[in-house]
Amino acid sequence: MPVLSVDELQAILVAAFPGNDVPRVESVDDHEVVMSIAVSDRHGRPGGTLSGPTMMTLADTAAWLAIMSQIGPVLLAVTTSLHIDFLRKPQLTDLMAKTRVLKLGRKLAVVEVELWSRGSMDVVAKAQVTYSLPTARE
């Protein structure tokens, strides 16, 4: 059973990033968090593709929430590494993310994130994100 629910994770996002395009937490369970971000023309690039920064933002945010879904609201966990492979051209529609925590240690957490366009099953990017965890998880 995850430590935090969909509603609790969503509340953390809204509080942490007021006034921004806040992604939506779609589901959470023992093994994964699924999220989406609404995409508009302003997220696009020439040629009708989605911008890399939009995809990296969702990957990083999804990894952060995946960690918190398992250990609780540790807001001071910070990204130490984000590697992303762009695999195919995404559509200009909602971008989806699914996480899998690969390692959850005392000091570091590593999360794998798959991204795809809503309505398609084709993975458009895959990221591995490492987070440094604060020493005292309060």
96-122 pLDDT per residue, tens: 999 999 999 999 999 999 999 998 989
Identify the band that residue 1 occupies on the pLDDT scale cut at 50, 70 and 90: low
pLDDT of residue 46: 75
Return mean pLDDT, the chain. 90
What pTM does this model have?
Answer: 0.91
**123-132/108-117 β-pairing:** antiparallel
Query: 6-132 belongs to which CATH class?
Result: alpha beta
Q: Is the pLDDT of residue 138 over 60?
A: no
Residue 101 β-bridge partners: 111
H/E stretch holding 60 reads helix 52-71
Residue 30 burial (C-beta neighbours within 10 Å; 0-12, 13-18, 19+): exposed
Provide, rounded to the nearest whole percent, the portion of the chain with pLDDT above 90: 67
Short-list 46, 129, 64, 61, CA closest to 95 = 61
Q: Is the pLDDT of residue 42 over 80?
A: no
Secondary structure class of 38 (helix, strand, coil): coil
Residue 121 burial (C-beta neighbours within 10 Å; 0-12, 13-18, 19+): exposed
